[in-house]
Structure 1
Amino acid sequence: MKYIVPLIILLAVGTASCNKMLDEEIVTNVTDDFYNTKAGFQTAVNGSYVSMRNFYSTERGMTLTETGTDIITNGSDGNFKFTSQYTSQLDSRYDHIREVWNSFYQTINTCNVVVDRADKVPDLEEATKKKGVAEALFCRAHYHFVLMQMFGAVPLRLHENAEIIREAHRDSVSAIYDAVINDLLAAEAELPATQAEWGRATKPAAEHLLARVYLTRASSPQAKAGDYANAAKYADMVIKNYGFKLLTDVGQVWAQGKENNDETIWAAQYTTDPLYGYADNNACRFFLMQYDVLKGMKRDLANGTPWKRFRPTKFLIDTLYKDRVHDVRYEKFYTTLWRTNAPVDNLKMGDTAVFLPGYDVPDAVIATKPYMLVPPRLYTEKLYPSLNKFADALRPDNQASGVRPFIAMRLAEAYLIEAEALMMDGKKQEAADLVNVVRWRSARIGATPAETQANRDAMTVTAADMTIDFILDERGRELVGEQLRWFDLTRTHKLVERVKLHNDEARSNIKLTHMLRPIPQDQIDRTVNEFPQNPGY
């Protein structure tokens, strides 16, 4: 293909002694033969993970997967509001799609180096070879799957590019699904249940991704008999076979320093080590309102650096999180209270400076408060409840990028995948039972067991509640911000419908064209044969 791919792309993946994260030695000035050695093989395996950090917790990854949906719209800042609003600027010249496309194909080539050369490396232990190839297959499948969801038919690259090839062809979506599933099945067969270095692919991570892939194909034109059953099967294996547990407190799932918890299946790795820092790890900034210009407030690490990129839609706050009596997820996931950190006038250190109560308050009441009281009718592109899942107080300073890992797969989603698959296969009561496990975990703990049970009862759903829209609502409540929403809406063919219903900024522009992203123009321009663009771009 004309897409120019270096023989191998290697970047540091990082180390952290507290988490035993994926460890990679930086290698420079090496020849191609290095990758035919045991050290080179392991370096290439580690390099297979590089593009996870190009995508997860980055502005490009977040913009392409969260904003412009029914639950997240644009804030006041940033150069890419057109993605959220689906204006004419969302075209083939768009930086983020080019960056994801280029990075993923470069790292797919690294994965292919591992797969193609494994049998040629002298004295490579069989167990090391099998595990390394399995990790590379997991990564290759992941990249192809994301590319296919975004762009549809894309080039399927299953062998190393040893030279520049000037042609590229879009392989069928059906062939890509088959290749992704084959890679994941092969990886699942060889990967261990756990890894000493956190962040490496594992058997349950491969099974979780298989469940996602089968669920996605099941509602596509490429659907095969048994796809929903397979999605349910692999999700159920993740739930039952590895000792994962839903945390009692849903607010602790994303607690900094505790990301490697009983609920986490797989996470993209970052670190506090400046040698391995990554400037694009900025999820901690994107969802924050502009608190730092308000009375009694200044910017600090605890409150974060407010870039005001993404804000919740009215639908998310007022409808999906309407129940705040029994369900604690809104109060756990969203910051609505800021305490004074820059004393002024009658605001002392630690006093309430800003409060967003989530319900309407008369102007007369607002006027009596020494602090800023902001009911929903006064929300703006700069002033809104702020998602706090990615809060990062361990950055070295306010200008530094994030250092925490990004949880890309967790157990709550496995429950919701299995529930959706069973529902689509007509097993609605079994689906409701699984959804209830997730919902009951988030029921408010009462003063007595009876109060707790009453809250659970209030959150209990039945077979009659099981529709695709309800599942999407529940995924929105639970998984908001976790780089899944645009994929959820496109795979269920609900993107246009739900954005028109629930996103004020995007509803007038979105159309069926936007079910896919535009192919990057440089890919089209650098290919000697005709490389067709997606319809409508």
Structure 2
Amino acid sequence: MKKIVFGILFFSLMFGACSDFLEEEMVGTLTQEHFSTEQGIEDLINGAYEGFRFHFAFEWSYSLTNYGTDEFTHGGGMDRAYFNNYDGALNPGEWRDLQPFWDNMFAHINQANTGIARIPEVLAGKSQHNTRLGEAYFIRGFNYLKLVEQFGGVPIKLNPTSSIELEFRRASAGEVIERVITDLRMAEQLLPNEPAQKGRAAKSAARHFLAKAYLFRASERNAEFTRSTDLDSAAFYAEQVINDPRHQLAPDFHDIFNYTTVNGPNEHLPEIIFAAQFDDNQSLLGRYGNRVHLYFPSVYFTLPGMMRDLANGREFQRLRPTNFALDVFDRSVDSRFYKSFKTAYFSNNANTLPRWTEDNAPSPELVGEPRFQVGDTSIIYIVNSLDDDRFVRADIDNAAPHIYIRNYINDEGQNATNYTLSQYPALSKYFDHNRQTPNDERGTRDGILARLAETYLIAAEAYGRKGDYAKALEFVNAIRERAAYKEGEERKIEYYISENIPFGETGSTVEDMRATVNAFTPGTPEADQEMYPAGVTSQEQMFVHFILNERARELMGELIRWVDLSRTNTLITRATAFNAQAAPNIRERHVLRPIPQSHLDAIQWDGRPLTADEKQAEQNPGY
């Protein structure tokens, strides 16, 4: 299928991020005639799809989604660390990420509003009428979902802006999520079963996000407006996607992120339900491209025998995994850990090879010789348990490659690590070797917004919250069995070292990966292994935290974690328990983001600016 060519120039000129709705008068004036034509509608909807790239385009991709959670804390690159540390810089005046997010979501909503208003007339009786109208509803519902997840209640705007508008009042979170559901249900009715082009939304995308929206409304943060049928609806729409023959889980977890070439096999997997489209056409990459590849890698190019290259990425070192992120996996049986994290590198610089010295050479004749050659393993991260006493400092000093050990016994007999803010196992899901140069920041790989494994977990959570644990475990175990090592499957050398497993062991771990109700039954050994935070004592509580753990194992770093913890009212509990940098400052107010001050300063009520008290009333509590 032909890939959509997005109207980036069209978008940037006509629908660039604006302050709320204030600059959209010119947009409406300049484009009304064009949007009264079939080509104008095509341009409008194609341009609106470009908006999905926003979620992968810059630092807001991770700062609003993975910082300040149990999965990741800041690394050595601390440019947005206040989102992780919840310090005073995270306030209504924050303009680098919160304001662009707010402005862009509303810009894309206005595009959708224009389409919803124009399509019934312009495309009346045309074959593309339902599809384009469904796409417009999908785009509006998606963007309002993103807003309500972050901010709670926001203004609801359903008509295109055609003149200067200043009068805006927040709707409640309940009203916003109801609008999301209404729009996505319209999209689900109108969209085709299969998209005509790669990257367009189909019924399955609408159903996935409908399931997500219903589950969001059924979650603890939204208890005051949860409806009794929400869990049934979440399960219903999730199962419609799961039972759709157009979508299947990839055979191997590794397949999903095995990016071999632009628009390659991993970007056409039937597991992918919806993705923001990128490629290596430099004229269409826009200002940013997909930049998420920059934010997870740890520093390697400064080490002897190494230099920065395309394969290993450019290291902005923003996101460092927490101990929870490393330990939530049973690494000996769950292949997702070593398929999600980079734990070894190969030497690529003959000019800086380290050499044996008299202090560390295994034999005198090796003094002055290279410790390894180009192409040899040059860096190994040993991800052992925190109670592992097999290693001592000499294992680091006397090894041929650079060795980073999570826990070793130092010369004083104490537990120690040589992991640092800048050296740690890096999430490998976003590596992009198809950029033009090693320092190129604009990435080319598609950004996954919905994949089938998450749909399985939505269904599992819905059934488990209803008390049907057997049904929930069917969905959980479908993805856990996929995650198991298969008979004869090779493991990485660092797997054997870290997990203390005999070299060459390649047995199946499918049976070990199957979860039972014991995983969330108080007092069982299986529940003890799940790292539940203090105070999580009932089976109902444990189930929610079990699903959060399983979502971490499957969806680690996939830019949804903060929302998961916020919606379940577990953000404070889990950030406090597992993120040492977040723990001192996180407060109840942080379960929502502050409404941007730029919005509050710009709007009016009854023709006048808001007073200080009125602005405070429109702001989220505690800011």
Tell me if TM exceeds 0.5: yes
Q: Equivalents in 1 of 2:51, 2:147: separation in Å? A: 12
- Equivalent position of 2:39 in the other structure: 39
Structure 2 matches for 1:253-272, cutoff 5 A? 253-256=256-259, 257=264, 258-272=266-280
Q: Equivalents in 2 of 1:388, 1:447: separation in Å? A: 24
**1:474-533 alpha-carbon deviations (Å, 9 max, x no partner):** 000110111110011011110000000000111111111000001111101111233411
Partner SS for 1:265: strand
- Equivalent position of 1:372 in the other structure: 402
**1:395-421 alpha-carbon deviations (Å, 9 max, x no partner):** 111232101111110011011100000
- Equivalent position of 1:13 in the other structure: none
Q: Equivalents in 1 of 2:301, 2:125: separation in Å? A: 56
| AA aligned opposite 1:249 | D
Q: Equivalents in 2 of 1:260, 1:402: separation in Å? A: 18
2:315 to 306, 320, 327: 306
2:594 to 511, 518, 532: 518
Q: CA deviation at 1:127?
A: 2.8
The 8 Å contact of residues 6 and 50 in structure 2, kept in 1 or not, is answered as no
- Equivalent position of 1:389 in the other structure: 429
Q: CA deviation at 1:389?
A: 0.6
Q: Equivalents in 1 of 2:126, 2:479: separation in Å? A: 41
Q: Equivalents in 2 of 1:298, 1:25: separation in Å? A: 34
1:217 aligns with 2:224: no
**1:416-452 alpha-carbon deviations (Å, 9 max, x no partner):** 100000000010011111101110101011239xx98
1:402 aligns with 2:403: no
Q: Which moved more, 1:506-515 or 1:256-265?
A: 256-265
Partner SS for 1:472: helix
1:163 aligns with 2:163: yes
- Equivalent position of 1:126 in the other structure: 126
1:415 aligns with 2:456: yes
| AA aligned opposite 1:368 | N
Change (3 A) 1:271 1:398: same
Partner SS for 2:83: helix
The 8 Å contact of residues 485 and 508 in structure 2, kept in 1 or not, is answered as no
2:379 to 354, 363, 369: 354
Q: Equivalents in 1 of 2:579, 2:162: separation in Å? A: 46
Q: Equivalents in 2 of 1:209, 1:370: separation in Å? A: 50
Q: Equivalents in 2 of 1:57, 1:259: separation in Å? A: 18
Q: Equivalents in 2 of 1:198, 1:458: separation in Å? A: 38
Task: Give unmatched runs, 5+ long, in structure 2.
Answer: 15-29, 356-369, 407-416, 490-504, 521-542
- Equivalent position of 2:365 in the other structure: none
The 8 Å contact of residues 67 and 319 in structure 2, kept in 1 or not, is answered as yes
The 8 Å contact of residues 25 and 43 in structure 1, kept in 2 or not, is answered as no
Partner SS for 1:338: strand
- Equivalent position of 1:535 in the other structure: 621
Q: CA deviation at 1:101?
A: 0.4
| AA aligned opposite 2:133 | V
1:338 aligns with 2:345: yes
Identity %, equivalent residues: 34
- Equivalent position of 2:525 in the other structure: none
Normalized against structure 2, the TM-score is what? 0.80
Q: Equivalents in 2 of 1:465, 1:237: separation in Å? A: 27
The 8 Å contact of residues 141 and 180 in structure 2, kept in 1 or not, is answered as yes
1:461 aligns with 2:461: no
Structure 2 matches for 1:44-59, cutoff 5 A? 44-56=44-56, 58-59=58-59
| AA aligned opposite 2:3 | K
| AA aligned opposite 1:469 | H
**1:320-345 alpha-carbon deviations (Å, 9 max, x no partner):** 12x22211111101001011001214
Q: Equivalents in 2 of 1:262, 1:492: separation in Å? A: 29
**1:292-318 alpha-carbon deviations (Å, 9 max, x no partner):** 11111100001100000111101111x
Q: Which moved more, 1:236-245 or 1:474-483?
A: 236-245
Q: CA deviation at 1:22?
A: 4.6
1:484 to 535, 560, 570: 560
Q: Equivalents in 2 of 1:19, 1:390: separation in Å? A: 24
Equivalent residues, number = 515
The 8 Å contact of residues 231 and 418 in structure 1, kept in 2 or not, is answered as yes
Q: CA deviation at 1:138?
A: 0.5
Q: Equivalents in 2 of 1:395, 1:65: separation in Å? A: 25
Change (3 A) 1:125 1:39: farther
Q: Equivalents in 2 of 1:242, 1:187: separation in Å? A: 20
| AA aligned opposite 1:367 | D
Partner SS for 2:620: coil
**1:346-393 alpha-carbon deviations (Å, 9 max, x no partner):** 131111111002125311222221211101122111000011111100
The 8 Å contact of residues 325 and 444 in structure 1, kept in 2 or not, is answered as no
Q: Equivalents in 2 of 1:114, 1:168: separation in Å? A: 21
Q: CA deviation at 1:61?
A: 2.1
Structure 2 matches for 1:53-68, cutoff 5 A? 53-56=53-56, 58-68=58-68
The 8 Å contact of residues 270 and 278 in structure 1, kept in 2 or not, is answered as no
Q: CA deviation at 1:471?
A: 0.5
The 8 Å contact of residues 217 and 223 in structure 1, kept in 2 or not, is answered as yes
| AA aligned opposite 1:329 | R
- Equivalent position of 2:362 in the other structure: none
Q: CA deviation at 1:53?
A: 1.3
Q: Which has the higher contact order (CA 8 A, sep 6+)?
A: 1
Cα RMSD (Å) of the superposition?
1.8
Partner SS for 2:477: helix
Normalized against structure 1, the TM-score is what? 0.93
Q: CA deviation at 1:31?
A: 4.4
Partner SS for 1:373: strand
Q: Equivalents in 2 of 1:481, 1:57: separation in Å? A: 15
Q: Equivalents in 1 of 2:313, 2:8: separation in Å? A: 31
1:21 aligns with 2:4: yes
- Equivalent position of 1:116 in the other structure: 117
| AA aligned opposite 2:131 | K
Q: Which moved more, 1:436-445 or 1:24-33?
A: 24-33
Q: Equivalents in 1 of 2:373, 2:349: separation in Å? A: 8
Structure 2 matches for 1:191-270, cutoff 5 A? 191-219=191-219, 220=222, 221-256=224-259, 257=264, 258-270=266-278
Partner SS for 2:119: helix
| AA aligned opposite 2:128 | T
The 8 Å contact of residues 8 and 284 in structure 2, kept in 1 or not, is answered as no
Q: CA deviation at 1:26?
A: 4.7
Q: CA deviation at 1:25?
A: 7.9
Q: CA deviation at 1:184?
A: 0.6
- Equivalent position of 2:524 in the other structure: none
